[in-house]
Chain A
Amino acid sequence: MGNNNGAVSNNGPEGINGAGSLQRYLSPLGVWALAFGCSVGWGAFVMPGTTFLPIAGPVGTTIGLVIGGVIMLIIGVNYHYMINQYPDAGGAYTYTKKALGYDHGFLCAWFLMLVYVAILWANATALPLIMRNLLGSAFQFGPDYELAGFHIYMGEVALAITSIVLFGLVCLRNNLAKWVQIVMALVLLGGIIVCFAGTWAGHQGGMSTLKPSYAPGTVPAGGIMNIIFLAPWAFVGFESISHSASEFSFSHKKSGLIMIIAVIAASAAYIMLSLNAVAMLPPEYGSWPEYLADLGNAEGIKALPTFYATETAMGSSGAVLLGITAMGGIITGLIGNYIAASRLIWSMAEDGLFPRKLADISRNSIPRNAIFSIMLVSVIIPFFGRTATSWIIDVTTVGAAIAYAYTSAATFKTAKQNGDKKAIYFGAAGIAVSALIILYFLVPNMLEVSTLSTESYLILAAWSIVGFAVFRSIFKRDTERRFGRSTIVWMVLLGLVYFTSTIWTRQSTQRAAGKAIEPIHEHYVNILKEEGVDVTTSASKNSMEYLHGILDDVSDSMTTNLLVQTGLIIIALAIIFSIYSIMQRREKQIEVEKALAEEVSRAKTSFLSNMSHEIRTPMNAIIGLDNIALRDQNLSPHTRDQLEKIGSSARHLLGLINDILDMSRIESGRMVLKNEDFAMRGFLDQINVIINGQCVDKGLEFECGIIGSIDDYYVGDDMKLKQVLINILGNSVKFTPAPGKVSFLVQQTGRTDGRCTLRFTMRDTGIGMDKEYIPKIFEAFSQEDATTTNKYGGSGLGMAITGNLVEMMGGRIDVESEKGVGSTFTVSVSLGESEMKSHDTQLDGMLPMLRVAVVDDDEVACEHAQLVLDELGIHPDVFSRSPEAYSWIHKRWEAGEAYDLIISDYRMPVMDGVTLTEEIRRFDEGRTGVIILTGYDFDDVAERAHREGVDGILTKPLFADTLLHEIQTVMKSRIETAEPDGADAAGADSGDEGYGLEGIRVLVAEDVEINAEILMDLLEIEEIESERAANGEIAADMFADSEEGYYDAVLMDIRMPVMDGLTSAAAIRAMERADAKTVPIIALTANAFDEDVQNSLDAGMNAHLSKPVEPDKLYKTLSELIHADGKRKTNQRDT
């Protein structure tokens, strides 16, 4: 499977990458050297004398180390399982993050990292100690100082720093590091075996030196148990190979066996060194307990029992050999931990937990920056001396146990998912053992010996706080939201900070109190002595015991209080985090619900939009067929009534569908406002026609007026604004009982920076509303009471849509209402100023010379008419009473100063506008032009008015361009009347009798042949010439190849092969010829939603027709577009 020279990615052996990836360079021997070398270091040579043997004795130590090794093998099995699951550089970090999430992964890595660098520091600072034993004071030169009771010489600091730098540099070459590690590991193991054999071979006291087998004064089982719990400290590092898993050049299945061999070898090494420590005793001691108990007073090589025994048995060469062996332990520890820590840091940096620079891989496949970062931090450590460093080293046991616990938990979870029962049991056993080890080390005096030093608790607390800070920084940068998913991690860190700092306080206080006993005792003994009391030694001893007893009681009380306090705080913390967890879950739930709601909203909008076409088609069919059916003269009254009700319901249903669609578009943000020029005249005309019709039907009076002067054109979305105003006015009509009045006033209230503010005031004398209800009227589905819906109908969405549309326009709606009196709605919107003006005509010059009279009983209307006429340069005489007006008109006629034009309101007291006309026609021989203004339907007035000689009828309110157009028509008519042989201009206007499209030429772009033929046949009916293009590209080419002005319009199908209609229209508009910009292009498509229309307009088209195209709509649209262009009109006349 392996490839010695291949490179692997961080994701496993299959990912073969080039530069920038780790390299597969480790053989099984190299991996074993890493595992064994990291496990056995300088501690193995010192701990037998200082720790193992005093706790458990030679036999107890041996048994403890064997059992400890077996426990490590359980952890090793878990590592083996996970290495094969995730063979990358992260080791326990990767396993934890994959199985339990990134939060746990961070916690695990944070402590594991400390473990590896701390062991590295332990080995580097041990080097001067060996030198002290081997070379005496050779390195004790330069400035010196004392820290925590340890004397530090700059020479020794330099030696430690040199080792850190040197072996860091060795690690920058994979093969060099590998071979140094292998050689040194073999030296280490071989040296221990040789020294053990040599020592025991030279041993002459038989097994008597091993007596007592267990530590005197202790229970053997307790001692063995203590040794077992020290196993993580002793063996830590065997699992470091998990960080090099991606660099194995062989199958990962062998990793288990390698770890077993490494743990057995390490176990044997510890046992051999422990037994060596008691093989030879200095002659002044009778037994090993005596020797080891006095070790603090021993000097030179006697202070190191393993070395003393070897030297005694093998001579100085033995001591040198053991020194070289210990050097092997230190070097393998340095290299092994450099490799493990650098791979771990690299892996964390790859995930963004550390700066990305640390994830750089050099050309020779080394995480170089990670190694340099370790080197940089490590060179500071030797300045703190061995004692301070050992406080940090003590913490490694807890750190390693945390990593073991996490790896076991990851194994447990992964095995559970994989259904691997054996691994589940090993995982569970690993968790239990690791948890016990953590508790053993954190809870002081849980068993017989104290575990961590007092300062180590403080270091653990400080490391946890730094961990918190780093976690916060990572969390802040965590854009992928990988962190912050588990509050347990926070609890653990916080708990560690609190617990360890409290223990530190307790231990420190206790130590200070212990130190205080002696001076207190001495002080009182002296007082007693001064007072002549005989204080015997035994009495003094008793009092010391008494004081120590009191201190013990205080200590016990402190421990109890601490445990209670810890318990309470842990409970409080658990509750706080539980609450936080609930809050977090709730927030997450809200996020999920929001995302779901948005998704549902999108789906709803999409569904409604897609369905609209489908729903509208049958609705149109129902309405159409109903109308056809109603034309049947032979219908019975009952059937007619039913058909009328069907029609009414269908129209209502269609209105509801339209409202729902509008609302869904607004909610989804798909409602787009146009920003186009529109004529205010047509805009208000359309509103008035609809509302006036409704008022007439209901018997209401309707009035529309303009206050002051307004422009003929504005820029905005006239369709949406019209929808707003019709909605409000429609409600006014709906909620106003006959005989009532609805008025509609328009006023331009301001003009700044190209924007005009328009105020539309809609007032009715209807049923009104309670003031409390007014704020709710713009909510969807709100009506003042349930009976309102039944009585007045409506979807309940109209005002909600209205409110939203006005908001989209940046406007506002004010509502005033009084129950039983009526309501006033004021809509204020800002519209753009338009550059479009009424067209100048040949009559423009004549206008100021026209003699005009305005007759209207409404003062506001009179004033407005005067304003409009002023804009045209006409200065009328104004009359508010029709009889007076008549007298004056007649008088002027007789005086030879007859009026050219009379503009009169229709409805006036005494004499209405038509009667006034009738009277004028009695003397003027039809020479005076008369235009009637009406707020009512043309149809109601037209017949009588024309009969009585009225020339034109205009609906109120009056607009300059409407009035101008009408004046032109009327005055031409007057001229023609005066000149019977005049030009036949009358037929030129588009009117009721035809569309005026004869002879024009249209380019039809339609891919389906039959559809194109139908369209062309329909055009032929109106004598329109047409040419077909089978797709958008051909259409663009045909237009390009034609002479300028050849085509009068283009009918453009949207969905076509090769080039669609939108692209083709855009291509035509982009052509460098005058008619490319002006030729009307009409889009033809089956879809007629807002966005389709908008897309067509964006592509430069002028209008949009839904397919199948109704001929009348087609002709009308063509006529409007072509006749809107003066030049076209001329062309049309020429043909």
Chain B
Amino acid sequence: MTVEDLYAQIDGNYAHAVQIMKKDKMISKYLLKLKNSGLIENLQAAGESLDPVAMFESAHAMKGVTANLGLDTLSDKVSALTEEFRQGSSRKYSDDEVKAMLEDICALYQKTADGISEYEQSIQ
């Protein structure tokens, strides 16, 4: 399984990833790191309390990493959460809607993580 195959499987933007990381090796390195980064866990924890600061911090961190990796769909979804909890902007979604967004993000992340695991096995 190649990195490009993986991106096709997880709906990632391979071209974008290459534009940023230049090499498959580097993309691969950080995809594997993403799995153990704890970013999604932080976001889920913040989602439990819906504490605005925690939500913003965790979403902002995840948005940056996923954008660097060309995981554009995931990055866009997390970006919506970032803007929702950005200090100084008014909330646009209800708590229930935010939780639904979180579930959507977790599901997409899970699909990405599964794909990465599969890729990891294929290169071992």
Interface of A toward B, CB cutoff 8 Å: 610, 614, 617, 621, 624-625, 628, 1007-1011, 1013-1014, 1017-1018, 1021, 1055, 1057, 1086, 1107-1111
Contacts and interface: CB of A to CB of B under 8 A. Distances in A.
B70 to A, nearest CB: 8
Given A1007-B61, A1011-B65, A621 B16 contact: yes
A628 B20 contact: no
Contacts of B109: none
A1010 B13 contact: no
B68 A1011 contact: yes
Given A621-B72, A1013-B30, A1014-B30, A1108 B67 contact: yes
Closest 8 CB pairs of A and B: A1008-B61, A1108-B67, A1108-B68, A1010-B65, A1011-B64, A1014-B68, A1108-B20, A1008-B64
B20 to A, nearest CB: 5
A146 B101 CA distance: 94
7 contacts: A621-B72, A624-B15, A1009-B37, A1013-B33, A1014-B20, A1055-B60, A1110-B19
Interface in B60-87: 60-61, 63-65, 67-68, 72, 76, 79, 83
B50 to A, nearest CB: 19
Contacts of B79: 614, 1086
A1127 to B, nearest CB: 30
B22 A1021 contact: yes
B26 interface: yes
Contact of A610 (B60, B76, B83): B83
A643 to B, nearest CB: 15
Most buried by A among B16, B19, B64: B64
Contact of A1086 (B19, B22, B64): B64
A168 to B, nearest CB: 58
B31 to A, nearest CB: 10
A1086 B26 contact: no
Nearest to B57: A1057
Nearest to B82: A1086
Given A624-B19, A1017-B26, A1018-B20, 13 more contacts: A610-B89, A624-B15, A1010-B65, A1011-B61, A1013-B30, A1014-B21, A1055-B60, A1086-B79, A1107-B67, A1108-B20, A1108-B67, A1110-B19, A1111-B22
Contact of A625 (B15, B30, B39, B60): B15
B34 interface: yes
A1010 B37 contact: yes
A1008 B76 CA distance: 18
Interface in B1-45: 13, 15-16, 19-22, 26, 29-30, 33-34, 37, 39
B65 A1018 contact: no
B62 to A, nearest CB: 9
A762 B79 CA distance: 44
A610 B84 CA distance: 12
Contacts of A1008: 61, 64-65
A611 to B, nearest CB: 10
A1110 B30 contact: no
Contacts of A1108: 20, 64, 67-68
A617 B61 CA distance: 18
Most buried by B among A614, A621, A1057, A1086: A1086
A205 B83 CA distance: 100
A1008 B30 CA distance: 13
A89 to B, nearest CB: 42
A1110 B61 contact: no
A435 to B, nearest CB: 52
B76 to A, nearest CB: 8
Contacts of B29: 1017
B5 to A, nearest CB: 17
A960 B106 CA distance: 60
Contacts of B21: 1014, 1017-1018
Most buried by B among A624, A625, A1010, A1017: A1010
B30 A1010 contact: yes
A1010 B15 contact: no
Nearest to A627: B15
A655 to B, nearest CB: 22
A1109 B16 contact: no
Nearest to A629: B15
B98 to A, nearest CB: 18
B22 A1010 contact: no
Contacts of B22: 1018, 1021, 1111
A1043 B14 CA distance: 41
Nearest to B15: A628
Contacts of B19: 624, 1110
A1055 B85 CA distance: 14
A628 B19 CA distance: 11
Contacts of A1009: 37
B33 A1010 contact: yes
B109 to A, nearest CB: 14
Contacts of B76: 617
Contacts of A1017: 21, 26, 29
A833 to B, nearest CB: 40
Nearest to A624: B15
B36 to A, nearest CB: 10
A617 B68 CA distance: 14
B14 to A, nearest CB: 10
Most buried by A among B13, B65, B68, B83: B68
A381 B19 CA distance: 95
Contacts of A1014: 20-21, 26, 30, 68
Contact of A621 (B13, B63, B65): B13
Contacts of A1018: 20-22
A621 B68 CA distance: 14
Contacts of B30: 1010, 1013-1014
A621 B64 CA distance: 17
Contacts of A617: 76
A1013 B20 CA distance: 13
A1109 B20 contact: yes
Nearest to B89: A610
Contacts of B26: 1014, 1017
B64 to A, nearest CB: 5
A499 B85 CA distance: 66
Contact of B34 (A628, A1010, A1055): A1010
A657 to B, nearest CB: 17
Contacts of A1013: 30, 33
Given A621-B13, A1018-B22, A1010 B63 contact: no
A80 B16 CA distance: 78
Contacts of A1107: 64, 67-68
